[in-house]
């Protein structure tokens, strides 16, 4: 009789230990899920921050490139303008010389 009581008591204790282990395992699993979710959320935030920083850096570099290209375009425009002014002055002088020489020839030949 005493042996049966001890066996039943041992079985009850074993069942309690099993239930306690299951509860602890469930608690640990839940904590693991929470930690995993928190780590994923933190990784997502870091990813977003990195993406925002990359976009800001690209925007800054783009603006610098735009400034550089605008300055280069303005310089080229001025150079072209100067070349055109020089060529126009030369062409005007040639036309005036041509008209002057033909006008002198016309007046010498008696043309009106």
Residue the block writes with tokens 């002055």: 89
Please state the φ and ψ torsions of residue 110, each to the nearest 5 degrees: 85, 15
| Distance from C-alpha of 108 to C-alpha of 112, rounded to nearest angstrom | 10
| Distance from C-alpha of 29 to C-alpha of 42, rounded to nearest angstrom | 20
Quote the tokens at residue 36: 């995993």
Q: What confidence score (pLDDT) does residue 98 get?
A: 87
Q: What confidence score (pLDDT) does residue 89 get?
A: 86
Q: Which residues fall within 8 angstroms of residue 112, CB to CB, at 6 or more apart?
A: 106
Q: What confidence score (pLDDT) does residue 110 get?
A: 54
Q: What confidence score (pLDDT) does residue 53 get?
A: 97
Q: H helices within the chain, ranges in order?
A: 2-109
- pTM here is 0.51
pLDDT, tens digit, 9 for 90 and up, residues 54-80: 999 999 999 999 999 999 999 999 999
Q: What confidence score (pLDDT) does residue 104 get?
A: 63
Length of the chain: 112
Taking 70 as the pLDDT cut, the residues of the chain under it are 104-112
């Amino acid at each position: 009789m005493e042996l049966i009581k001890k066996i039943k008591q041992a079985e009850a204790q074993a069942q309690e230990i099993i239930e306690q282990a299951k509860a602890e395992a469930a608690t640990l699993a839940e904590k693991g899920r929470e930690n995993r979710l928190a780590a994923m959320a933190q990784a997502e935030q870091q990813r977003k921050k990195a993406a925002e920083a990359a976009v800001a850096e690209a925007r800054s570099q783009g603006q610098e490139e735009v400034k550089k290209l605008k300055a280069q375009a303005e310089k080229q425009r001025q150079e072209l303008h100067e070349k055109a002014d020089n060529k126009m002055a030369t062409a005007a002088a040639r036309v005036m010389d041509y008209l002057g020489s033909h006008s002198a020839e016309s007046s010498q030949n008696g043309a009106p």
